[in-house]
Amino acid sequence: MSAEVPRQEPTSMPRLALYALVVCVLAVVAAVVSFAQGSWLGIVWVLLVGLSSNMTWYYLRRGRAASSAE
């Protein structure tokens, strides 16, 4: 008696890309608040936005490439 296990559909967004996107959004908010308070620390947040947005694109492209290879 063999029970078939249903295959899971791939998620539309890989988990690491989703985490990087959340970090990106939070860093944008932190940069806006820093600049609104007159702090130059917002520059660090802007750099983090750039890094996390690049990570988001990387993980999205990697996930799409992996799903198309299957």
Let me know: does 31 contact 53? Beta carbons within 8 Å: no
Question: Residue 31: which residues within 8 A CB-CB, separation 6 or more?
Answer: 42, 45, 46, 49
Positive or negative, the CA dihedral 59, 9, 12, 45 is negative
The per-residue pLDDT for range 12-36, each reduced to its tens digit, is 678 999 999 999 999 999 999 999 9
- As a whole number of angstroms, the distance between CA 53 and CA 17 comes to 9
**How confident is residue 66, by pLDDT bands cut at 50, 70 and 90?**
confident
pTM value is: 0.77
Max CA pair span of the chain: 69
pLDDT, average across residues 51-62: 95
Lowest-confidence region among 2-6, 12-16, 51-55? 2-6
In which band, very low, low, confident or very high, does the pLDDT at 41 lie, cut at 50, 70 and 90?
very high
